Amino acid sequence: IETVNKIAAGEVVKRPSCALKELIENSLDAQSTLIQIKLIEGGMTLLQITDNGIGIHQADYPLLCKRFATSKIQSYDDLSSLTTFGFRGEALSSISQVSKVTVCSRKQGEPLGYKGIFLNGNLIEAPEPFALDKGTLIKSENMFSNMHERLRALGNHVEEYKSCLDIAQKYSLHYNNVGFKVLKLDSLEYSTSGREDKTEIITKILKPDENSLAAQILEIPPTQNEICSFQGLISSNDYSWKQSYFVLFINNRLVDCKELKSMIIGIYTSYCPRSSNYFVYLSLKILPSEIDVNVHPTKREVRFSHQNIIFTEIQNKIQEILKSNST
C-alpha cells in the first residue's frame, strides 16, 4: 500500500512546480491577499508558501494530509456545482507522500497558531503551539529524496526553479489583486502589491527591455456567448518579445490546452511575420459541464465539448484586434 500511494502521489506531484501550483490555489481558496513563496534549489530542497488567509483549525490537523480530505465539499450536491479543477483533497496528501511537510497555521481570532509535521499522509507529531500571524505557512522539504526514480526523471535545479517561477508569475498576473512575493533562497525575484493592473504586472514579472510596453499590450474586451465568456491581453504585432507566453486560466484555474495554443501561434505567424514571439493571456469562464479535465492526471490539460465554437470566437476576436491595431 505504501508503494502504491507513493506512485500515485508521484503522478500527481511530478515536480516541485506541480506542488507549488496546488499550494498557491489552496492559499487563494483560503482568501489570502498576500502570498509569499520561497524556493531553495528549485523547490527541491525547500518549497515554502506563506499566506494571510483564513487559516487551519488545530482540530483539522490529523486529517489534513489524508487522501480525499477536503473542507471544500460538504455534500454530494456540491460536486456538480464545483469548478472541476483541484484535486478534491489529494494535493496535501500527495505532497506529504513525496516530501516532508510542515504546516504552521493560525485561524483568525485564535490566540495561538499550531505547527504539525506530516510524512506519508500522516501527522507524525501532535500539533504544538507555534507563534505566527493569522494565516498559513506550508513547507515541503527534500522532495523525492525517498523516490530515486522520480528524482532522476527531473530536470536540474535551474529548470525546476524556472518552472516554479513560471507558475508563480502566471498566478500573479491572473490574481493581480493579490500580492505575491517570490524569493529564491533569500534574494527577491519579484513582488507585486495587489494594487497593480495586469499590464503593470506583466512589466514587473517579465521585465521586458523597453518601457513602452503598455502601448504594445492590447486588450481583449469582455466577450460573451451562450457557452462561455472570455477576456484577456495580447501583444501587438510590432513588439518583439524575448520569448512567447501563453497563459490560459479557465474558471480561475491555470490550465493548458495544446490545440488553443497552436491556434494562437497560427494567428501570430500570419499577422506578425517579423516577430515570431507573442504574449497571450486569456481568462475564460465556462460551465464545468462544457469541459473535460480528465485528460491528464495532473489535470492541467483541458478539452472542450464545443471546441469549434469557442476557438472560432477567440480566433475572430484576436484577429480583429490585431487587424485594427495595424491599420
Applying CB under 6 A, which residues contact ligand ADP? 22, 26-27, 30, 51, 53-56, 64, 69-72, 86-93, 136
Identify which of residues 55 and 113 has a Cβ nearer to ligand ADP in the complex. Answer: 55
Spatial separation of the C-alpha atoms in residues 60 and 92, rounded to whole Å: 13
DSSP code for 171: H
Query: How far is residue 197's CA from residue 173's CA, in Å, rounded to a whole number?
Result: 9
Contact 183, 61 (CB under 8 A): no
Ramachandran angles phi, psi of 140, nearest 5°: -120, 125
Q: What minimum distance in Å lies between the beta carbon of 246 and Mg ion?
A: 24
Of 23-31, 152-160, 171-179, 299-307, which segment contacts Mg ion by CB under 5 A? Answer: 23-31
- CA gap 224, 217 in Å, rounded: 21
CB of 55 to ligand ADP, least distance (A): 6
Concatenated DSSP letters of 274-309: S----EEEEEEEE-GGGEE-TTSTT--B-EETTHHH
Helix, coil or strand: residue 14: coil
CB of 139 to ligand ADP, least distance (A): 12
Out of Mg ion, ligand ADP, none, which partner does residue 89 contact, by CB within 5 to 8 A per kind? ligand ADP
Q: Out of Mg ion, ligand ADP, none, which partner does residue 56 contact, by CB within 5 to 8 A per kind?
A: ligand ADP
Nearer to Mg ion, 91 or 104 (CB): 91
Residue 26 as a binder of Mg ion (CB under 5 A): the answer is yes
Residue 84: which of Mg ion, ligand ADP, none does it interact with, CB under 5 to 8 A by kind?
Answer: none
Closest separation in Å from C-beta 83 to Mg ion? 12
- Give just the sign of the alpha carbon dihedral 147, 152, 155, 158: positive
What minimum distance in Å lies between the beta carbon of 67 and ligand ADP?
9
84: closest CA among 257, 300, 272, 278? 300
Site string for Mg ion, 84-113 (x = CB under 5 A): -------x----------------------
